Amino acid sequence: MTFVSGSVTAIFSPFIHEKPEKSGSYGVGFTIDRGVEAEFTEKEGVFFNDKKVSIGPAEMILKELGGNGIRLSAELPISCGFGLSGASALACGIEVSIKRNLPLSLSEIADLAHRAEVLSKTGLGDVVTQFHGGVVARLKPGSPSTSEVQRYIFRQEIDFLVFGKLPTEDILEDDIKRESVKRAGKKHLREFLRKPDIENLFRCSKQFAADSGLMDHEIRDVIEAVENGGGMASMVMLGRAVFAVNGKETLEEFKGQKFSARIAPCGIKI
């Protein structure tokens, strides 16, 4: 059994290259103690919470490494900004590699998972964050083995409110949206690096969500409510979801899926 953490992106700036291994993103994200568990199976295909599904990156990994099938389970909502496609691909790669005794290092498997994510247009930085674990500032885009990062350990419980999906592909394929996100992401990454602590992470993330045009009125109302109650909050990228500190009681006032998780210093458990 392999576990890969879900990842929450607070700030990002996409970088698209003709070579998928060089594509990625600048930004800041963190792993949480909830994620994807994967188990090798001889049944053909990808199964998510006991249902056969299509998860592009995991399917690519199965085909590339010669696995028949993978059984995935997760409590986190899919396509809502928790990096489950990247976690699924990475966990799948590790499980197949172990069961088939393949001569692959963890970084090589992570690179394959990142490549599968880029080609599937489901993410650009989640696998890098999951590979390193903790709070990860991505300073140079690319595959996990070539990207440049700065890691931090913030021991913090985070509260979440999820309204619904915000497909990554919708943002990455819109030139105007992508350029707006790119500019705002680089700006607020620099601001976070000047003072890399939990308070500044929330401040920079919230400003990024506003400046990039990704924050809608409903998300803004939740963030303001949490702040009025003495907490901190921002938007999960890319999902219609909010993450907060000291905001649990306030989040209960809104409709949506609610849960809490801790920032995890390690993104992979085998």
For residues 248 and 173, state if they share a domain. Answer: yes
Give domain status of residue 68, yes or no.
yes
For residues 114 and 51, state if they share a domain. Answer: yes
Note the pLDDT of residue 168.
Answer: 62
- Number of domains the chain is built from: 2
Round to whole Å and give the CA distance between 63 and 67. 7
For residues 32 and 144, state if they share a domain. Answer: yes
Note the pLDDT of residue 230.
Answer: 98
Note the pLDDT of residue 249.
Answer: 97
Give domain status of residue 266, yes or no.
no
Give domain status of residue 199, yes or no.
yes
CATH number for the domain spanning 231: value is: 3.30.70.890
CATH number for the domain spanning 97: value is: 3.30.230.10
Round to whole Å and give the CA distance between 228 and 221. 10
For residues 51 and 142, state if they share a domain. Answer: yes
For residues 197 and 230, state if they share a domain. Answer: yes
10-residue block means of pLDDT along the chain (270 residues)? 97 95 97 98 95 96 95 94 97 97 97 97 95 98 97 97 80 76 96 98 98 95 98 95 97 97 97
Note the pLDDT of residue 13.
Answer: 96
List Cβ<8 Å contacts ≥24 apart for 61-66: 61/89, 61/92, 61/93, 61/96, 61/112, 61/113, 61/116, 62/92, 62/96, 64/112, 64/116, 65/93, 65/96, 65/97, 65/100, 65/102, 65/112, 66/96, 66/100
For residues 26 and 130, state if they share a domain. Answer: yes
| Among 116, 151, 186, residue at a domain's last position | 151
Residue 254: domain span: 158-260
| Among 151, 169, 200, residue at a domain's last position | 151
Note the pLDDT of residue 7.
Answer: 98
Note the pLDDT of residue 178.
Answer: 83
Give domain status of residue 228, yes or no.
yes
For residues 142 and 171, state if they share a domain. Answer: no
For residues 107 and 22, state if they share a domain. Answer: yes
